[in-house]
């Protein structure tokens, strides 16, 4: 879908640029996305694009910033609306899965950044996102242990890692099938297994 951004205000054009990159990442290898392809999809010249983003790296940084903000916003909303730590974990799991299903280009970009040997601003953003996410899950597990919902024998750090890893595994399998949206079908069963593993017996 071509996005026409010729007459948008600067902030909106930057937002459309981020959306465009994520759309392209769902269709091709993110590392192969060029500024020419981004500009073409938006109906712009590269010169117009570079007035808002001086380099390709600056575009990528903006994308990663958007991903972190949007994902953590959904996570926080899921936690806020829950009545117990275990319900919060389930709602966070579901919110993350839905985010990926709606934006299939996002995991391709995140995995791509983490695979790069060199450090970059974008890679650092991904690391910070994962750390912030893990801390939120860790706090929920701590609360669950305090309320007797989560087994006291559970290593909270490991359990938070497994939570995130379960989602990443589902995402990877869905990417291999060629349709990340299928992740919705597999998520409930995967979370049920995770829940049995951490719940107080």
What gap in Å lies between CA 144 and CA 35, rounded to an integer? 47
- State the pLDDT at residue 3: 45
pLDDT in tens, 35-67: 999 999 999 888 888 888 888 889 999 999 999
Per-residue pLDDT, averaged over 74-99, amounts to 96
- State the pLDDT at residue 164: 96
- State the pLDDT at residue 110: 84
- State the pLDDT at residue 98: 95
Per-residue pLDDT, averaged over 7-17, amounts to 74
- State the pLDDT at residue 2: 47
Per-residue pLDDT, averaged over 10-30, amounts to 87
How far CA 137 is from CA of 8, 93, 114, 119, 176, in Å, comes to 39, 10, 21, 26, 27
**Domains, the chain:** 1-54 (1.10.10), 55-198 (1.10.357.10)
pLDDT in tens, 104-138: 899 888 887 777 767 788 888 888 999 999 999 99
Render the burial of 23-56: b for 16+ CB within 10 Å, e for the rest: bbbeeeebeebebebbbbbbebeeeebbebbeee
CB 18 within 8 A of CB 53: no
pLDDT in tens, 146-193: 999 999 999 999 999 999 999 999 998 888 887 777 899 999 999 999
Per-residue pLDDT, averaged over 76-94, amounts to 97
Q: Give the residue from 40, 173, 172 showing the smallest Cα distance to 112.
A: 172
């Amino acid at each position: 879908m071509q996005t026409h951004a010729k007459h948008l205000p600067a902030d909106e054009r930057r937002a459309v640029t981020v959306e465009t990159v994520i759309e392209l990442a769902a269709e091709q290898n993110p590392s192969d996305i060029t500024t020419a392809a981004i500009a073409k999809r938006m109906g712009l010249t590269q010169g117009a694009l570079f007035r808002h983003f001086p380099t390709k790296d600056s575009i990528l940084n903006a994308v990663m910033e958007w991903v972190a903000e949007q994902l953590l916003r959904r996570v926080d909303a899921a936690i806020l609306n829950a009545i117990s730590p275990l319900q919060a974990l389930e709602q966070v799991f579901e919110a993350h899965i839905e985010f990926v299903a709606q934006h299939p280009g996002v995991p391709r970009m995140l995995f791509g950044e983490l695979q790069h040997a060199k450090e970059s601003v974008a890679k650092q953003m991904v690391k910070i996102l994962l750390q912030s996410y893990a801390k939120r899950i860790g706090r929920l597990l701590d609360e669950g242990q305090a309320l007797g919902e989560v087994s006291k024998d559970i290593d909270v750090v490991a359990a938070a890692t497994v939570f995130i890893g379960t989602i990443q595994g589902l995402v990877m399998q869905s990417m291999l099938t060629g349709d990340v949206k299928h992740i919705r079908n597999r998520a409930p069963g995967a979370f049920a297994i995770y829940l049995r593993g951490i719940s107080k017996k």
